[in-house]
Amino acid sequence: MPEVLHHAPLLPAPGLTRLGVFLNVEDPHHDPAVALHELVQTAVSAEAQGYESVWLAEHHHNGFAIGSALTVLLGHIAALTTRIRLGTGAALLPLNDPVRIAEQVATLDLLSRGRIEFGVGRGGPFPDQYRQVGLASPDEARARMHEALALIRCLWAGQDGRGVDFEGRFHRVRGMRLEPKPLQRPVPVWLASLSPDSCEQAAVHGDGLMATPSSDLGQVAQVVQAQRALRGDLRFAIARFFHCEADQGQALARGLAGVRAYPVEMGVQFAPGRRPPMFEPDASDRVILANAVIGDPAHCLVQVQRLQALLGPHLLLLKPAAHEPAQARAALGLFMSEMRQKGLTPGAGTASERWHG
């Protein structure tokens, strides 16, 4: 039997920037078999390059973003890796049976030897995802997300051999016994939202908060500062569109083009007044670059240091702006080399030393 390793969850490391990779499971050439294998290769490469975590986004009924089976994909990645932590970024609880999600994530946590980070969300600006499962509104989706998460917590925390009773607005169980239980007690939870109700729930349970790649940095910084004032210690992650090449001009051209193409390829449908500034049709290069990490290694490093100054200790998730997987992997490798040369990432000590910072 292989040795069981207990990996500590991702915690803030003062003075250092923790780096992860955020993958949208994209199929730019309409060849899903190739796209899925490229995704796995990028995740495995991220471990070899030294990234601490890889997170996969869930989407449904979308020809460009085909990450509809996160636990299947993460299970495959887990079998090919040993160190990198594996995140759902995010599991869309309103669109799924929470009991099945609890079972699948617990199984995945055991198979990965305790490497799961459980990010959850409601579904984002994609109305068709709601329509297909009969959700009336984003507000209903948000309520379902919080209730489903509460049920999952109860099931994971239940005593071995004893059933769980749960009475909610959308979900009711009587004497339910969840098996198997996850290895981590508790599994680290992240809410992929900075809304007031999500911040309140995160504070009650000690959950992490996550900002999406398109979130406006100024607004994010205000929320993070307010939450740190209220909570003190705060697990916070932010995803940023990312591209890095040795040539600054080429990096900017490819990175900006990828960001501008993204909302069109994804078919996002924001409510009036909710479109992020970087996704406005007339968004300037300046607006996009203020909310991304794009450039040659030196310019990318300056942008990362700016994030550190604005947000304090956090996990930075780099979301490749390049839709070509080989370009994305090259960009990730080039930037990690720069960070290592500058001594700005956690050291390459033992697994325990890495995870505890």
Query: Are the beta carbons of 212 and 126 closer than 8 angstroms?
Result: no
pLDDT at 228: 93
For 343, the token pair is 């001594």
Whether pTM > 0.95 for this model: the answer is no
State yes or no: pLDDT of 199 exceeds 50: yes
Best CA proximity match to 306, nearest among 231, 245, 220, 246 = 220
Distance CA 92, CA 57 (A): 9
Average pLDDT over residues 13-33: 87
Could you read off the pLDDT of 134-159 as tens digits, one per residue? Answer: 888 888 999 999 999 999 999 999 87
Q: Which residue has 């799961």 as its token pair?
A: 116
For 357, the token pair is 């910072």
Could you read off the pLDDT of 172-191 as tens digits, one per residue? Answer: 999 999 999 999 999 999 99
CATH number belonging to the domain at 18-356, selected among 2.60.40.10, 1.10.10.10, 3.40.50.11890, 3.20.20.30: 3.20.20.30
Query: Are the beta carbons of 57 and 22 closer than 8 angstroms?
Result: yes
pLDDT at 330: 98
Could you read off the pLDDT of 90-126 as tens digits, one per residue? Answer: 999 999 999 999 999 999 999 999 999 999 999 877 7
Distance CA 114, CA 231 (A): 26
Query: Are the beta carbons of 285 and 294 closer than 8 angstroms?
Result: no
